[in-house]
Amino acid sequence: MKCPYCGNKNNKVVDSRESLEGASVRRRRECLKCKRRFTTYEHVEETPLMIIKKDGRREPYDRKKISSGLIKAFEKRPISMEKIEEIVENIERQVMRKFDKEAPSQAIGELVMEKLAKLDEIAYVRFASVYRQFKDVSQFMKELKVILDKQT
């Protein structure tokens, strides 16, 4: 494993933990050259899941897309990277259980929206504005009204 800071390939594992339900292993590593620590995750490689996009194209599933979307939604919010990784793993498990070889991108987007709605309303609205591709303020206000109605 290459150090993300100095590029050295020599490091040692400081701590290993199974993530939820043993779906992956989280390892804390220390670079033997620069002494900085970093985290790696090991996942079981399975038959690649193909994602069916809205326009009908198919592309391989990429967990980084979910992760980057969540990072953007949670920007400047009090959510740790570990919590984001936990959400990504949870969504990934649900998708893998529900779909065999292909999954519609809408199903993944809805799972993300469901998690965000329960966890952080601001992140939910941020993600929804991109995911639902709001064309104007009235669409945005309709989504806000749904959130407000759930609170009462």
Contact status, residue 31 vs residue 39, Cβ threshold 8 Å: no
Confidence check: pLDDT of 46 > 80: no
What is the side-by-side order of every strand in the sheet holding 37-43?
11-18, 24-31, 37-43
How do the domains of the chain map onto residue ranges?
A: 1-44, 46-151
Angle at the Cα of 111 (from 151 to 78), degrees rounded to 5?
A: 60
Phi, psi of 81, deg, nearest 5: -65, -30
- For CA atoms 78, 20, 118, 104, give the dihedral sign: positive
Q: How large a percentage of the chain has pLDDT more than 90?
A: 49
For the whole prediction, is pTM greater than 0.85? Answer: no
Residue 79 has pLDDT above 70, yes or no: yes
pLDDT tens readout for residues 106-148? 999 989 988 988 888 889 888 887 877 777 777 777 777 776 7
